[in-house]
Amino acid sequence: MALLEVDDIHTHYGSIEALKGVSLTVDEGEVVTLIGSNGAGKSTTLRSISGLTPASSGTITFGGEEITRVPAHEIVSHGIALVPEGRHCFARMTVRENLDLGAHRRRGAEVSEDLERVYELFPRLHERERQKAGTMSGGEQQMLAIGRALMARPRLLMLDEPSMGIAPILVQRIYETIAEINRAGMTILLVEQNANYALDLAARGYVLETGQVALANDAAQLRDDPNVQKAYLGT
């Protein structure tokens, strides 16, 4: 059984149908990516899974339990954490305060252990523990947003455009860390405009076009697909 199964979901923004029957699966321990142009429905898919923009029809199953109608504020407790596009760190709060918020539903020694793990993954966050999040660079804020999500100790980490607006040298570092997080056992669903980064990291991928899955395959086969190369890989 897949850890996450999305079956024929339709999602609307008012009268606009953003998702038109999206289906996908993510197995335990996998990295799966969604690629596609702007407006294809990638972020909306993550928002539907996380309950922020609930699906109007279809089903979302996580760990064998249907979560289609679970409110957004309860999704984290089910084991899903979203790192949103644009990071959305709390600018006036310190790095440490942002990380503590990620664990706000948890208690016990494991929280301290997870904090140390985040600092091991992102030493820069440890160096800037008392710094206001809003004074950090885009790349540093992305590290913080990922760290904050990890503090919830999720079973599934969803990342929405982690390379957006970040210097290339930091993008490389962030992707190396995402790979390390996955090697430690974390299941990851990744939305990424830069298909080269996404397909390098992922085992499988889905190509979304106008709210529908146009193509699904192993990452290596997607990379070799002439249509994918022309549309998304710049080759």
DSSP 127-148: HTTTSBGGGS-HHHHHHHHHHH
The whole-model pTM stands at 0.92
What is the distance, to the nearest Å, from the Cα of residue 77 to the centroid of all Cα atoms in its chain?
16
Could you tell me which residues come within 8 angstroms of residue 96 by beta carbon, excluding any fewer than 6 positions away? Answer: 129, 130
Please write the tens of the pLDDT for every residue from 38-79.
899 999 999 999 999 999 999 999 999 999 999 998 999 999
CB 207 within 8 A of CB 222: yes
Structure tokens at 208: 């979304």
Helix (H) or strand (E) holding 25, with range, is strand 16-26
Q: Which domain holds residue 48?
A: 4-233
Element (H, E) at 33: strand 31-35
Mean pLDDT (the chain) is 93
What the block records as the tokens of 46 is 């993550």
The count of structural domains within the chain is: 1
Of 29-33, 44-48, 87-91, the least confident? 87-91
Residue 235 has pLDDT above 70, yes or no: no
**SS3 of residue 201 by DSSP:** helix
Confidence (pLDDT) at 22: 98
Q: Is 234 helix (H, G, I), strand (E, B) or coil?
A: coil
CB 94 within 8 A of CB 132: yes
- Specify the CATH number for the domain of residue 191: 3.40.50.300
CB atoms within 10 A of CB 212: 15
User: What's the CA gap between 144 and 146, in Å, rounded?
Assistant: 5
Q: Which two tokens stand for residue 113?
A: 């252990």
